[in-house]
Structure formats: structure tokens, C-alpha cells
Amino acid sequence: MIAVNHVFKSVTDSTGTLTILRDIDFSLRRAETVAIVGASGSGKSTLLSIIAGLDTPTQGTVHIDGVDLFAMDEDRRAALRAEKVGFVFQSFQLLANLTALENVMLPLELAGRRDARATATQMLQRVGLGERLNHYPKVLSGGEQQRVALARAFVVRPAVLLADEPTGSLDFATGASVMELMFELNREQHTTLVLVTHDRGIAERCERRITIAAGQVADISTSVEA
């Protein structure tokens, strides 16, 4: 489902060239769950952005479901993301002027779905927010906001879900509840899940762990819990 082929990423400014990623190479199967782990500054989030086609590599390619992301222009990459990729972020990234229901409806409406309201309502009920449909993000707790974000990500039934520190803004108990829900939805929809996390417990729940150190793949291991 995902093939990352010899990806390099460098940035240049007045002080010189900084290499962020160096020869990253791996592939992920359909419906596989994978944690990308490593110290802060190791390049994990940059790698996730490149897999999403939101950032471009200096060298190398990324294929999503057989399609070369960087053989396309940004408009076509955006269309591919809308069709196949869901996102969950540490900071939730909900639109403050939209209700929970409207936030979840948005990707369906952009896809031209006439059943957007009904489908979004069902998904919010699935994540336990059936009574919060018309609430705005500012009156929702952090855990509730992340559940809305999960609903928005999964409502289009993406082939790939990319999550960047999804529990980083939550307390331990709330984060554990949100992650349980994420893994449940992932199993139900057979999504390929790529998760950046500092939480070892979360990482060990994934089938594989890819450790990034100083911009390189230091280790790829299979979780004993997978």
C-alpha cells in the first residue's frame, strides 16, 4: 500500500545544508499498522509529511497504492489525499467555526457525497459523540475533539491513515481511550495505519516499529503484541 523508496530530504539556508532524512526505504502492506518512533528531531514528522505528499523529498519516491506521488502535480496529489488518505494530528486541526457534525461532513461534502450529513452523524455516533453533534470545538474536551478528528479521518474510509502524535495533547487515560478507538476503527476498515509516537506502549500495539535516528532507519522490528 505504501512504498518509500530511497528518500532523502535536505534544506539549505545561509548557514549551509542540513540533511533531515537520509536514504529512507521501506514498504507497508495493506491494513498493516506501523509506528514510526525516534527521538525528537530525528525526522519522524518530516517523513510522515513526505508520505502524505505534503512535503517533497530532495531525492527518492513514495508510492501510495501503486501511484507515484511525486510524478503528479500538487492538485493531483491533493485529489489522491482526498480519496485515499486520512489524517489525525496532535493539535486536532478542527475548524473552530464549524460544529462537530460540520467538521466531519466537510471531507464528504468536498467529495460530492449527498449522504454527507447522515454518514457523518453515524460516524460521530460510532465514536461516542452522538449527543455532541451541534457543539463547536471550543466547548468540547481535548478527548472529544480528538474523537471528532478520528471521525473526520475515518468517515471517508481511507486506504491510509497517518497520525502524528495523536495523544500528545491528552492526559494518559484520555489518550488510552482515544488510541483504543483508533485501533478499533482501523480493524473495522482495514486501513493501513502509520503512526508517529513517543509512547512506547502505543508503538508496541502496532505490528511493526520503524525507528528513525539522525534521519536514517536505525531498526525495523515486529511487535511482540501484534
Instruction: Give the pLDDT of residue 226.
Output: 47
Q: How far apart are CA 156 and CA 92, in angstroms?
A: 17
81, 49 Cβ separation under 8 angstroms = no
List, for residues 3-20, the tens digit of each pLDDT value.
Answer: 999 999 999 988 899 999
pLDDT 10s digits, 103-137: 999 999 998 999 999 999 999 999 999 999 999 99
The domains of the chain are located at 29-54+73-222
- Please say if the pLDDT value at position 91 is more than 90: no
Class of domain 29-54+73-222: alpha beta
Which pLDDT does position 206 carry in this prediction?
95
Average pLDDT of the residues of the chain: 93
Report pTM: 0.89
> How far out from the chain centre does Cα 92 lie?
11
Spatial contact of 10 and 63, defined as CB atoms under 8 Å apart? no
Q: What pLDDT, on the 0 to 100 scale, is given for residue 225?
A: 52
Confidence of residue 224 (pLDDT cuts 50, 70, 90): low
Tens of pLDDT, residue by residue over 48-66, are 999 999 999 999 999 999 9
Residues 66-83: tens digit of each pLDDT: 999 999 999 999 999 988
